[in-house]
Structure 1
Amino acid sequence: MFRVLFFTIAWSWAYGANIPPVRDGVMELKMVHIVWRHGDRSPTTTFKADPFQEDAWTFGGGGWGQLSPMGMYQHLALGKKLRNRYVYTVNSTYNFLPSVYDQKTMYVRSTGINRTLVSATSNMLGMYGQDDYGSTAGTDYPDAKGWPRGFVPIPIHTVDYDSDHIGNMDSNCPRREWLWNLAQQSDEVKNWRNSAAVSSVIDKLTSLVNETWSLEDFWIVPDALFIEQIYYNETLRKKNLWFTDDFYNQIVAVNDQIYMYEYGIFNKTVTMQNMNIGLELLKVRSGPLMNDMVDRINRKSDCTYGGSKADDCNWINGLKYFVYSAHDETVYAVLVALGIERFAIIPHGYPLYSAAVSVEYWRNTTDNNDYFKLVYHKQSGDDFSVMTSEIEGCGGDYCSMDVLIQVAKRLKTDQPIDQWCLVTESSSTHSISISFVFILAAIINYFSL
């Protein structure tokens, strides 16, 4: 009798039914959003004089920007860590998600590019795809020869890469390019670019590889060199006699600063054309992602506690775990929005392979208010670190959701992002010109009556 009862309870919890609330004192966990960077990959491109061109990279299907077996393993490992944190197991930090995959509780979104899609699949393999995780052949996966035991295929959703303003920080956005061109004309960026320390590094690199660089393309060199040190370190130093650790570090330092400027991080407010350029850059980069998360959290709260009976409440009520499988810049966008980008700057100015930031939504059962906890996984092999207290306005592990809401509100674009990306100086001038023509025509028509 006891054995049957135990099995029934275990089965219910495994498949998502009757999982008891996750509590930390008076706090109750309601939803998790996680943004991660893909794992180790081949370069996405390189400089013309590089001895390691596309044919040097054969893993992951071969060619530029493909996830390596190491990258696949990094996300397998991260998936196991996430299982240990969130999935209902004996040693879990929070018994929050069912021990066997339940499609109602999670949604995985990836940018539409191979390395992020494969990273998501690898991560799900670590989280829900092992043979000893309790899934059942014939129910959760085929009971057939040739099918890996325990492998549960989990849907990975995606959208068009070039128009993905949430996950792809380099999506097609004329406004972002226009703002960046303005930023480069600012005194701060020009003085930095023309300083002896910076110009000497750029000029030296230009001479060595016989190729000139725009600031936004400068990343190509340190990115390729970083990866080549992993796979071809000895050959790299023999073929590129100019390569030294010291010069490489100088290149990285220049690139780190470019990265910060592109995200609107200046030493002081830069005002041009009556705009705060730093804020405007951050709006088009971080705004869509931050508002997507906060909008979903608000919907969850409204449906659970606000009495909302909208049609989409059925979906959001069951949803507990939302994933963005994306890029270093996507993770960086969250850190910059929250003012804690410094944690990605050392040792590099960008989040490392399989870096992940988790935004946990908690509800205080005493004051009936919403809170969040920010958790960071810096790189493969690291544990999770609670970073909430580093955010301005937050004093401990939990922070009022109002702080996150205000961040999203500050970064919300004036129009939907696909429309706002089209608003530039030329488009504004064109709009004014058209309006003037209509007004002039109306005046002429009036006096001709």
Structure 2
Amino acid sequence: MSFRLILASLAAASAASKDELLSVNIVIRHGDRAPSFGWATDDSEDVFFRGHDELSDSGIDHVYEQGSHFRIAYFDNEIVDRRFLPHEVYVRSSAVNRCLMSAASFTRSLFYNTSKKNPVIPPIYSNDKDNDYMLQPHLDCQDGWEDVKSKFNLTDPDDVPLQAAAALLKTDWDCQYVPGKLFDAIVAELPNELIHMRTAYKDCAKVKGKKFMYKYIELLAGAGSNFNELRIKRNAGLLTNELLKNFAEADKCTTAPCSEVPKMRIYYTHDVTELAIAHIFGVLPVFNYTTPAFSSALVFETYRNTTNQGSYVQILLKNGEKPLFEPTNNCYKKDCSVAAVTKAAKPFAITESIPCKKVQPN
């Protein structure tokens, strides 16, 4: 498919041309990383030379490619200035290395070079990861896991995510000839062109492995069939509040074209946060029970309807650097005005992080 990904999916599958695009908010997962533990092949450790959990060279390349598709959709048609104007573009990232590196590679593809051919990379804002409750999932609280403990009959209050993974492997892992302990390794290494996994590993990673990973990430996020209000607010409540604030600012824009709010805000985060946000904004089914791809992005476009001057939000998914921009149909037979979207998501928005509570062991 190419032709620059069908001209970035016909300029991000935008709404009717007479409606004015006011702002774009992008919630995006980091690029291809090394597995968190284990290796799928004897060569894996050399290919992923930065170590476990770190961005690979292939990941850097794929992130850059993803950025080029966003450039075609929003920059080449002069919606956003390619010279980089600080009031137009805001970038914030989780402080984890793979997110910060992804943010730099993604934005490197958006803007013109200087006259001396040096790249223009905008400021990338971040908090220390231990204090970032907007873009960095915090899964080490002892409370908020009551449903998971009950589901898997867990009694130890510590490190519930790890215990849940072990329990889920016993009940849901069905890839023959593939050790369950490699579930993260085979999925993480699958996109890398330099990795040549055995056929059984590759076949598992393509479908069953990604669906197993989805079940686990959904559980961590507190989303979907594992909905838990406390976990989902911890993982995405602050980001939800930020997005709603951004929609409201665009909705109040008085100039035409709108020059009062940033044209684009980019939030680099993790799969847990992305699935939580998808649940909160009612578009979780678009992932089809498969874990988000590396560099997958939920794109929130805020438009002003020039007919009645109302504003509405259209949500797109670009699930990695290769797929097209895909409408999530969040507006299908629904009111997608800023007011309606805000009303639906507002119960999950928080303005301060939720502190952990100690749970006494049974």
TM-score (norm 1): 0.63
Match of 1:260 in 2: 218
Q: Name the aligned partner's letter for residue 401 of structure 1.
A: V
Cα deviation digits, residues 313-362 of structure 1 (max 9, x gap):
xxx9242111012222232222121232222245x3x2101111110111
Match of 1:293 in 2: 243
Question: 1:82 is paired with a residue of what secondary structure?
Answer: helix
The alignment's C-alpha RMSD in Å is 3.7
Cα deviation digits, residues 9-53 of structure 1 (max 9, x gap):
xxxxxxxxxxxxx99455221111101112112123338xx7759
Tell me if the contact between 2:240 and 2:277 (Cα under 8 Å) persists in the aligned partners.
yes
Q: 1:261 to 1:128 in 2, by over 3 A?
A: same
Question: 2:346 is paired with a residue of what secondary structure?
Answer: helix
Match of 2:128 in 1: 160
Match of 1:233 in 2: 196
Matches within 5 A, 1:223-372: 223-229=184-190, 230=192, 231-234=194-197, 245=203, 252-265=210-223, 267=225, 278-302=228-252, 304-305=253-254, 317-346=260-289, 348=290, 350-372=291-313
Tell me if the contact between 1:264 and 1:278 (Cα under 8 Å) persists in the aligned partners.
yes
Query: How many residue pairs are counted as aligned between the two chains?
Result: 331
Shift of 1:75: 1.6
Equivalent residue for 1:186, pick from 150, 161, 168: 150
Larger Rg: 1
Match of 2:82 in 1: 99
Matched, 1:64 2:49: no
Whole-angstrom distance in 1 between the partners of 2:15 and 2:220: 40
Shift of 1:258: 2.9
Match of 1:436 in 2: none
Tell me if the contact between 1:329 and 1:351 (Cα under 8 Å) persists in the aligned partners.
no
Shift of 1:202: 6.1
Question: 2:344 is paired with a residue of what secondary structure?
Answer: helix
Shift of 1:402: 2.0
Tell me if the contact between 2:218 and 2:272 (Cα under 8 Å) persists in the aligned partners.
no
Matches within 5 A, 1:111-190: 111-129=94-112, 136-137=114-115, 143=116, 149-169=117-137, 171=138, 174=141, 177-180=142-145, 182-186=146-150
Tell me if the contact between 2:223 and 2:276 (Cα under 8 Å) persists in the aligned partners.
no
Shift of 1:264: 3.1
Question: 1:298 is paired with a residue of what secondary structure?
Answer: helix
Tell me if the contact between 2:31 and 2:295 (Cα under 8 Å) persists in the aligned partners.
yes
Structure with higher RCO (Cα < 8 A, 6+ apart)? 2
Q: Name the aligned partner's letter for residue 89 of structure 2.
A: M
Match of 2:356 in 1: 422
Whole-angstrom distance in 1 between the partners of 2:15 and 2:287: 30
Question: 1:80 is paired with a residue of what secondary structure?
Answer: helix
Whole-angstrom distance in 2 between the partners of 1:200 and 1:408: 33
Match of 2:71 in 1: 83
Whole-angstrom distance in 2 between the partners of 1:179 and 1:364: 41
Q: Name the aligned partner's letter for residue 126 of structure 2.
A: T
Tell me if the contact between 1:46 and 1:53 (Cα under 8 Å) persists in the aligned partners.
no
Matched, 1:108 2:69: no
Question: 2:32 is paired with a residue of what secondary structure?
Answer: coil
Whole-angstrom distance in 2 between the partners of 1:422 and 1:197: 24
Q: 1:67 to 1:397 in 2, by over 3 A?
A: farther
Whole-angstrom distance in 2 between the partners of 1:23 and 1:333: 26
Q: Name the aligned partner's letter for residue 43 of structure 1.
A: P
Shift of 1:424: 6.0
Q: Which runs of 5+ in 1 are unaligned?
A: 1-21, 130-134, 138-142, 144-148, 210-217, 271-276, 307-315, 427-449
Question: 2:295 is paired with a residue of what secondary structure?
Answer: coil
Matched, 1:199 2:142: no
Equivalent residue for 1:407, pick from 325, 344, 348: 344
Whole-angstrom distance in 2 between the partners of 1:45 and 1:86: 37
Whole-angstrom distance in 2 between the partners of 1:44 and 1:246: 18
Q: 1:244 to 1:71 in 2, by over 3 A?
A: closer
Q: 1:200 to 1:124 in 2, by over 3 A?
A: closer
